[in-house]
């Protein structure tokens, strides 16, 4: 069963986002980016109160993903990307992105906080940040 409603178009968008943002971090890194995206749809808190589906999450402005501004994002989703997206949509969660709403790729070490949210860890090139359960209970 899916943790958020989705269509084939939404699955493809999520797969393309995961690949464009984290292909260099491998499949696990791509799953973590997917976790963050799904959490944004589920959140209904902070910067994500008007996000109700994958498309609005992927193209959120301001606050969206930089990958949507690069041509690489607009390549067709591959079967392996679609399978990874489906795993996330069915509820697979990976630490440190389990409850994350943000991630970014710093030049150096991860800061303790980013936009007021605490660092939950780093996986390869990306640092992940999550709100507290009291701030965003829907993602816990």
Q: Reduced to 3 states, what is the DSSP secondary structure of residue 117?
A: strand
CA distances from 120 to 32, 44, 51, 97 (A): 12, 20, 23, 7
Q: Are 89 and 37 in contact (CB under 8 A)?
A: no
- In this prediction, residue 9 carries a pLDDT of 98
> In what helix (H) or strand (E) does residue 4 lie, and over which residues does it extend?
none
Three-state SS string across 5-74, please? CCCHHHHHHHHHHHHHHHHHHHHHHHHHHHHHHHHHHHHCCHHHCCCCCHHHHHCCCCCCCHHHHCHHHH
pLDDT for 115 equals: 86
Q: From first to last of the 140 residues of the chain, give the pLDDT tens digit.
A: 899 999 999 999 999 999 999 999 999 999 999 999 999 999 999 999 999 999 999 999 888 898 999 999 999 999 999 999 999 999 999 999 999 999 999 999 999 999 899 999 999 999 999 999 999 999 99
**What's the whole-model pTM score?**
0.96
Q: Mapping DSSP to helix (H, G, I), strand (E, B) and coil, where does residue 139 land?
A: helix
- The reported pLDDT for the residue numbered 63 is 80
Separation between Cα atoms, residue 92 and residue 110, nearest integer Å: 24
| 16 neighbors 81 (Cβ within 8 angstroms) | yes
At 64 the pLDDT is 85
């Amino acid at each position: 069963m899916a943790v958020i409603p989705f269509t084939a178009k939404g699955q493809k968008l999520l797969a393309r986002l995961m690949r464009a943002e984290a292909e260099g971090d491998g499949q696990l890194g791509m799953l973590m980016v997917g976790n963050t995206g799904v959490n944004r749809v589920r959140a209904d808190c902070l910067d994500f109160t008007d996000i109700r589906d994958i498309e609005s999450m992927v193209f959120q402005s301001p606050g969206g993903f930089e990958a949507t501004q690069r041509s690489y994002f607009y390549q067709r989703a591959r079967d392996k990307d679609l399978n990874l997206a489906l795993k996330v949509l069915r509820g697979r969660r990976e630490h440190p992105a389990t409850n994350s709403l943000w991630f970014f790729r710093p030049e150096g070490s991860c800061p303790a906080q980013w936009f007021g949210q605490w660092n939950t860890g780093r996986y390869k090139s990306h640092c992940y940040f999550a709100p507290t359960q009291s701030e965003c209970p829907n993602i816990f």
